[in-house]
Structures are given as structure tokens and as C-alpha cells.
Homo-oligomer: A and B are copies of this chain.
Amino acid sequence: MDGSFPLPIFGGETPLYDQLYRHIAGAIQSGALPTGARLPSKRRLCALAGVSMSTVEAAYSLLAAEGYVLAKPRSGYVCAHLLPAGPGLSGPAPAPAPGPPPEPPRWACDCSTSAVDTSVFPFSSWARITKEAVYENPGLLQRGHPQGDQPLRAALAQLLAQYRGVRCAPEQVVVGAGADHLLSLLLQLLPEHRAVALEDPGYPAAYAAAALHGREAVPIPVDGEGMDPDALAASEAGLAYVTPSHQFPLGVTMPAGRRSRLLHWAASAPGRLLIEDDYDSEFRWSSRPIPAMQGLDRAGRVVYMGTFSRSIAPAIRAAYMILPPALLERYRSTFSHGACAVSRFEQESLRRFIAQGLYGRHLRRAGNLYRRKCAQFTQALSAIPGASISGAEAGLHFLLTLPRLTEGELVERAAARSVRVHPLSRYCHAAPPRPSTVVLGFAGLSEEELAQAAELLKEAWG
């Protein structure tokens, strides 16, 4: 069959063996070289194609390795049997992927609740620390502890005891790639909880996590003290997710009495658990940060969660949770095969950032800046006739209510002036607890931008 053997026209920069290999593989796939057909001997192909023996050998060994041809003793290479192309297999290449989703509109001022101010980020310290973390720790290249490396867990346990009144041993700490990731691990760990009680209004990602893990999301109303314990007790859920320090999005701080009632609920039936998401507790304006509910828990029924996404920056994909002792053993047997999802270099950078006192200093600087911004923005907006502000005692967002306008009017009039604000109903499952209310984040806007935003909103709503 030498005469009819399909030979490539060599050209371009691809190595010759590769061109030869592709050409023959293509001929076998298309059926031009049928099953059982003998390929020319290597020596013969060298002559036919005008290439070196090493080129032919490389192409043939690749064809054999991929199963296009079979090496038969004394017969050389014969074409293997390939299944004829099935439905779709012979069609054109898959359609080009849909393009990126449409660009979000560009806002003059985006009052997002998840942005932070990067002007206080200590770039040079962080750059130095990340470099040192790589240089000084070659051992970090290997697989680390599935819960995160011990030195970082010890630093976190100490930090949380000092700043948040959390009581735990480093063994109870689990490091993960963001709060959503930890919530996902937690739901995987707790398959017996088919229903999850969530704050209403509440954090959309918690609702999404429940849905993604096939759990029933049970919205529980939030009043002026946080999640309603009677509604919780009346529900079938045995697992409840709460944000006691600064309820998202209402901004309510849960008082001690309500905390006791929730702890009481958790302790009064086997297997009940509270997830305490302390997502922006580092920032509190009216008093020093309020200790976490976890520190009051004597029954081991609180899983505490926190993140560096707001206290440092969203780019730092590291969060942590503190498991009660009873869950810890289950965690270890369930996830023993896994690796911690955070790069060990980044873990070591965070540990150094904390240990060298840079994290504390950053929190003070960022806290001062955010306190100033919060005061500036709320003060400017208070000048709008009829406007009232709530939830501004802590955190990086607050609510504004203006009964003269509907929620939709508030959002649309702001948008018409290129200011993005979120309607409270976006976070609600039953009726919003407060009509005519929007959620305003301020951390991501500079002081100049906040002044501009306030002016635009006064025009829009004045």
C-alpha cells in the first residue's frame, strides 16, 4: 500500500514527528487507513517521507502508545479498530463558548457591601512577608495538614481568644478558602441536617449553599435582636446559621439575652447546632467589638466562622471555622483524605502577618478609616428629609429608610444618577421587614467618592 500511503506535506514550526503522527492518526480516524491496514516499515517510511529514522520512530511510538496502531510481531504496525464516530462525534467542533457575561454597567459610585478600602493595605509588608514565606520554608511545598498548618491555627486560636472571646484549642481550627467554602464543607459534614434555618433577611450565599447541597432553606424572621428564637423552635431545622455581631443585612447586634435563648435552643435537643458567622466583627463603632457567642457556649453547640475577606481584602481567600470537640472527630474521619484548600505559602504569610503585629496594626488603621467613612456618609445622608439610618453601629454597611419613596423608586432614582444601591428585599424571602429601605456599603468608596455619592443620592431622593 506504499503508493497510496497518505503522507503529510511538512511545513510550519511543529516538529516533523508531530506532523507525521497527526497526519497518520487523522487518516486512521477518518477511515482513510482502515482497520488492519499495515503501515510501511520504519525504514520504508523514512524513504517515502524523506525524514530521519528518529522522526519516524517518535511518530510510530506515539501512535502505538495512543492505540492508533498495534505492533504485531513480524508484521510491523497495523491500524487498530476505532469505533465509528457516534452521534455528535463526527460533527463540527463544539460551538465556541459563549462570550463573557455582559459587562455590568459602570457606576459612578457602587455602594457594594463586599468591597474594602485597599488604600490602607500594607503592600510592602505583605510583599516582603510572602517572599520570606516562600524563601524560608522549603518544607511547605509538600502536603500540609488537612485542617491548615498548625502554626497558623495556633495564631488564629490566640487571636480569636484575644479579639473575639472565642475559646478553642488550635486543634479545633479549620482553615478554608473563604466562608462559602467552609459552609460547603460543613454541610457535607452534616448530612443529617436536611433543613437549615437561615436569617430572613439574610446572607444570599448561605441560601445558595443550602440549595447546592440539596438542603431545605428555612427562612426565620429577624427582629430588632436578631433571629426569632420562637420561630426557630417552631421550625423543623436542627441547624441554624446566624450573624450575631452584625446581622446581615439589617445590622442588628444580638443582645446577650437573645444569645442565651439561641444557645438554649441548641443545647436542648441532641444534634442541634448554631453556625455563628462573625463576618465583619472586627469593625465596630459604638463600643469595642462584642465577644462572640461561641465564648458563651458551654454545650459545644456552636461552630464559629470568620474570614479575612473583609478584615484584610477579598483577594485573600482564607477563612476559618472553629469546630466544637464533638464535630472535630467526625471532621477528621470525613475529610482525612483531603488537603487544606489554602496555599501553604499563603497560610504562612498570614501567620507572619498576625505574629509580627501587622494584622493588629492593619485592623486599627482600617477601623479608623471605616469609622470616619461611616460617620461621614451617614451624616451626609441624614440631611435628606425623612431619611432614617439604622445598623450603622458596626460593620461596613447600613440601612437607609425613606418612607416617601418606594424601595423600587429609591433604587431606580439612585441608578439614574449612576449610584448603585441594593434593595433590602433582595435579601428577603418573606416580606421585607421594612419597606422603602436600601442597603448601603461604604468601604469600597474613597472619602471623595462618598461625598459624591451622598450628593447624588440627595439629588435623587431629596
Task: Please provide the chain A residues from 121 to 166 with a CB less than 8 Å away from any CB of chain B in the complex.
Answer: 121, 123-124, 126-128, 130-131, 134-135, 138-144, 150
CB closest residue in chain B, given A126: B134
Q: Which residue, A141, A258, A263, has most C-beta atoms of chain B within 10 A?
A: A141
Q: Are B177 and A89 in contact (CB under 8 A)?
A: no
What's the least CB distance linking A19 to chain B, in Å?
A: 13
A271 to B93, CA, bound (A): 18
Total interface residues in chain A, CB < 8 Å: 121
A/B interface sample: 5 pairs, CB < 8 A: A81-B257, A97-B171, A121-B141, A130-B134, A177-B342
- Main secondary structure on A side of the interface with B: loop
Q: Are A88 and B299 in contact (CB under 8 A)?
A: yes
Q: Are B343 and A298 in contact (CB under 8 A)?
A: no
Out of B100, B142, B313, B341, name the residue touching A444 (CB < 8 Å).
B142
Chain B residues contacting A346 (CB-CB under 8 Å) are: 343, 345-346
Q: Can you list the 9 inter-chain pairs with the closest CB atoms, starting with the nearest?
A: A67-B255, A88-B299, A86-B264, A177-B341, A141-B313, A88-B267, A315-B344, A118-B141, A143-B314
Kindly list 8 other residue pairs between chains A and B, CB separation below 8 angstroms, not including A85-B260, A88-B301, A177-B341.
Answer: A67-B254, A67-B259, A81-B257, A85-B264, A89-B263, A118-B139, A127-B134, A144-B315
A11 CB within 8 Å of chain B: no
A243 CB within 8 Å of chain B: no
Q: A315-339, CB under 8 A of B: which get 1 and which 0?
A: 1111000001100110010100111
